[in-house]
A and B are shown apart, each in its own frame.
Chain A
Amino acid sequence: DGGITQSPKYLFRKEGQNVTLSCEQNLNHDAMYWYRQDPGQGLRLIYYSQIVNDFQKGDIAEGYSVSREKKESFPLTVTSAQKNPTAFYLCASSPLDRGNSPLHFGNGTRLTVT
């Protein structure tokens, strides 16, 4: 079955440590996205990528970094500079068709930083 795999499901880190969240898709989608979901805040876009080796900042990119070395993979690093890293992180993908196709979401990674 085609889909998006995020791992791990739960992640715990100490403050001051960088942590990388994995996102892999086998849907052959060009575009991939990282969202952060907080209670009462909805989904906020962190970074997105429309092509390999290129990515753009979303609305809340500070304290995060990404890479897109392969079409299938779009890992997100939460750095120690992110002031409130504890959140639920969602990865998504879609064809590159200017919003005509809905996003496909992964199951998310819940990150807790203490």
Chain B
Amino acid sequence: AQSVSQHNHHVILSEAASLELGCNYSYGGTVNLFWYVQYPGQHLQLLLKYFSGDPLVKGIKGFEAEFIKSKFSFNLRKPSVQWSDTAEYFCAAISGYSTLTFGKGTMLLVSP
């Protein structure tokens, strides 16, 4: 079965620390990958996406993610987090005629 795994359920960082959230998927073949973010009290919104081409994709608010096909990974990174990055982050994947599958989410808490 297709699945998406996020390595950490909770991450706590201080402001200015670097962030890397792990995501692995189990799909074979061509896959589209997404990171969504849910800020407290707000709806889910797209952070960035990968369909093809440059495996390093840049999203909003200084986030980026790298697609590594050999590792079936799509890790999210940010060089220096801010308090306003406190949110829940979801990795998601879709392939072919499948529906979008989400990981279980990572709650990031950034302390000022």
| A103 CB-CB contact with B under 8 Å | yes
| A70 CB-CB contact with B under 8 Å | no
Taking A42-B90, A42-B104, A45-B99 as contacts, is the C-beta distance between A107 and B32 under 8 angstroms? Answer: no
Give, as a whole number of angstroms, the nearest-CB distance from A101 to chain B: 9
Task: Contact check, A105 vs B96: say whether CB atoms are below 8 A apart.
Answer: no
Task: Contact check, A103 vs B9: say whether CB atoms are below 8 A apart.
Answer: no
Task: Contact check, A42 vs B105: say whether CB atoms are below 8 A apart.
Answer: yes
A35 to B44, CA, bound (A): 12
A58 to B98, CA, bound (A): 11
Task: Contact check, A99 vs B95: say whether CB atoms are below 8 A apart.
Answer: yes
Task: Contact check, A108 vs B102: say whether CB atoms are below 8 A apart.
Answer: no
Task: Contact check, B43 vs A98: say whether CB atoms are below 8 A apart.
Answer: no
| A89 CB-CB contact with B under 8 Å | no
| A102 CB-CB contact with B under 8 Å | yes
A98 to B103, CA, bound (A): 19
Task: Contact check, B43 vs A105: say whether CB atoms are below 8 A apart.
Answer: yes
Task: Contact check, B104 vs A100: say whether CB atoms are below 8 A apart.
Answer: no
Task: Indicate with 1 or 0, residue by residue over B81-102, a CB within 8 angstroms of chain A CB atoms.
Answer: 0000000001000111111111
Most B C-beta atoms less than 10 A away, residue of A41, A43, A99:
A99
Task: Indicate with 1 or 0, residue by residue over A85-96, a CB within 8 angstroms of chain B CB atoms.
Answer: 000001010000
Q: Which chain B residue lies CB-closest to A107? A: B43
A92 to B100, CA, bound (A): 11
Task: Contact check, A100 vs B44: say whether CB atoms are below 8 A apart.
Answer: no
A87 to B97, CA, bound (A): 28
Task: Contact check, B104 vs A99: say whether CB atoms are below 8 A apart.
Answer: no
Task: Contact check, B44 vs A58: say whether CB atoms are below 8 A apart.
Answer: no
| A40 CB-CB contact with B under 8 Å | yes
Task: Contact check, B99 vs A106: say whether CB atoms are below 8 A apart.
Answer: no
What are 13 A-to-B residue pairs whose CB atoms are below 8 Å? A33-B99, A40-B9, A40-B105, A41-B104, A42-B90, A44-B102, A48-B99, A99-B100, A102-B46, A103-B44, A106-B43, A107-B42, A107-B43
The 3 closest A-B CB pairs, nearest first, are: A99-B94, A42-B104, A43-B102
The chain A residues found within 8 Å of chain B, CB to CB, are 33, 35, 40-45, 48, 58, 90, 92, 98-100, 102-103, 105-108
